[in-house]
Amino acid sequence: MVVSPGPESVPSPIASLDFREAWRRLVGVLTRTHRLADPSLAEDAVQHAMLQAMRAWPTAGQPQEPLAWLTTVARNHLRDALRTRSGEVAFDDEHADTPGDGGAAAPTTLGGELADDELALLFACCDPALPVASQVALALKTVCGFSLREIAAGLLSDESAVAQRLARARKLLAARRAPVMLPAGADLPPRRDAALIAIHLLFSEGYASTVDDTAQRPDLCREAIRLARALAAHGATAHPDADALAALLLLQCAWLGARVDAQGDWRLLEDHDRSRWDTAMIAAGLAHLQRAQRAQALSAWHLRAGIASEYVMAPSFAATRWDQIVALYDLLLQLDAAPATRLAHAVALSYVAGPAAALQRIDALIAALPLPMQSYGHAARGEMLRRLGQMQAAQHALTSAISAADSAATRRLLMRKRDACVAPPA
């Protein structure tokens, strides 16, 4: 099966229709209502419909109900594909959902558990028979419509490895010749951890885009928050970790409006206008964090949310309780010693023990950073050198960071930082 490129490769000719949102809705509807054993069939059908729209709409005009038009074309393509394959569940026109143009697809249930279409499909993709990374990759591709590049960035991998992982996962699922079904009751918890990771990576791509010219994509952040809160609120999937994830996403999303300037370039945390932070989101995030405290033990999600709460509760950057943040990172490292966590810990430590102590840790870590994180490592190293007054070395480190950066907005920020590293007069 060829991995379809995803909706970001089909730019919308009609500004009023969000093709990424349409992708998520239609793939979920086709997979669930037609009980497909292989979700990639639904992806291919939706991709075909979007390409047809690209060809037809500029000349014929946008139909009155564009989402219904896409649904019809996708379902016809799916019908033809199913006719050429043996062993698939029969195409059922009588029970097909056709989402209208004015709202979300009609909620349906699988196993009587989840009515949210995308959340249900997310859990269906997180099959415990697959490795966790494969569950997450399949969920990001099928539910979120991510490209291989976006998935690779989230998993700190490369596109060829992600393509192979997806192919193996789909082959295993298709070999069962059984419908994609959401498990019920006791079968849901084994899928929850992978679902939380997938939701977090969906948010992360919106928080710092790796593929678009824009620095961030708030629509992805809002969708991730919606899924996290829906997961935390449902009786079959509710868990303290789900509340902790919802808290983390809400608290980080609260400052999205202050993270970029009028030109769409990054602002550093110390330069934020904190009056622009969303106080309603902060309150909602803290409420989820309070509910998450019913856990018997702290998870990595609890600790990450706790770190975010320290940032949003500080009245200013200078008043941030860095000692508390470092203490939380110390606990987090016991649960997650990944390079990203160790790098963030070193940066936080620089505000407690000084940049020299942080630089020593970064130098010991930087060679072990995966390729997608090399830019962050060199950037952190450049910042420590700048604070130590070693301007020429800082410029070299930031140049390395620029070369490894994965987005235009990040490169522009790093170039500004490098240009600011001017050696003091002799």
pLDDT tens per residue, range 92-141: 444 444 454 333 333 333 333 455 667 878 888 888 889 999 999 998 98
Residues 121 and 94 in one domain: no
Among residues 30, 64, 99, the one where a domain terminates is 99
From 39-48, 316-325, 378-387, 397-406, the region with the lowest mean pLDDT:
39-48
Same structural domain, 144 and 221:
yes
CA 27 to chain centre: 18
Domain boundary among 238, 258, 275: 238
What DSSP designation does 10 have? S
Range of the domain at 90: 1-99
Check residue 343 and give its pLDDT.
96
Q: For residue range 360-409, what is the model confidence (pLDDT) as tens digits? A: 999 999 988 988 899 999 999 999 999 999 999 999 999 999 999 988 88
pLDDT at 17: 60
Residues 79 and 152 grouped into a single domain: no
3-state secondary structure of 111: coil
Distances 152 to 137, 192, 216 between C-alpha atoms, Å: 9, 21, 18
Q: Are 224 and 247 in contact (CB under 8 A)?
A: no
| Residue 14's pLDDT band (cuts 50, 70, 90) | very low
Residue 76 lies inside a defined structural domain of this protein:
yes
Whether 10 is in a domain gets the answer yes
Distance of alpha carbon 330 from alpha carbon 147, whole angstroms: 34
Dihedral pair phi/psi, residue 266, rounded to 5°: -65, 145
Same-domain check for residues 196 and 125? yes
Residue 423 lies in a domain: no
**Does residue 351 lie within any of the structural domains?**
no
143 and 41 in a common domain: no
What pLDDT shows up at residue 19?
A: 67
Cα 320 versus chain centre, distance: 27
Q: Is residue 284 one of the residues assigned to a domain?
A: no
- Token output for 355: 């940049």
pLDDT at 2 over 70: no
In a domain, 125, yes or no: yes
Q: Which of 230, 233, 246 is nearest to 120 (CA)?
A: 230
Tell me the sheet residues that pair with 110.
114
Residues 131 and 36 in one domain: no
Query: Residue 160 above 50 pLDDT?
Result: yes
Say whether both 85 and 121 belong to one domain: no
**What is the residue-averaged pLDDT of the chain?**
83
Lowest mean pLDDT among 51-60, 250-259, 305-314: 51-60
Do both 79 and 153 map to the same domain?
no
Q: Is this prediction's pTM over 0.75?
A: yes
Residues 23 and 74 in one domain: yes
pLDDT at 165 over 70: yes
Average pLDDT of span 144-153: 87
Task: Give a yes or no: residue 346 inside a domain.
Answer: no
pLDDT at 70 over 80: yes
Among 52-56, 128-132, 195-199, 418-422, which stretch is predicted with the lowest mean pLDDT? 52-56
Report in angstroms the alpha-carbon separations of 14 from 8, 11, 54, 180, 207: 14, 9, 9, 33, 25
CB 343, CB 365: distance < 8 Å: yes
On the question of pLDDT at 322 being above 80, the answer is: yes
Same domain, residue pair 119 and 82: no
Give every CB contact of residue 322 below 8 A, 6+ residues apart in sequence.
Answer: 348, 351, 352
Same structural domain for residues 126 and 224?
yes
* Number of domains the chain contains: 2
Domain boundary among 176, 211, 238: 238
User: What pLDDT, on the 0 to 100 scale, is given for residue 115?
Assistant: 56
The confidence score (pLDDT) of residue 425 equals: 61
Are 122 and 230 in the same domain?
yes
Judge whether residue 179 has pLDDT over 70.
no
pLDDT digits (tens, 9 = 90+) for 207-263: 998 876 788 989 899 999 999 999 998 888 899 999 999 999 999 999 999 998 888
Indicate whether 124 belongs to any domain: yes
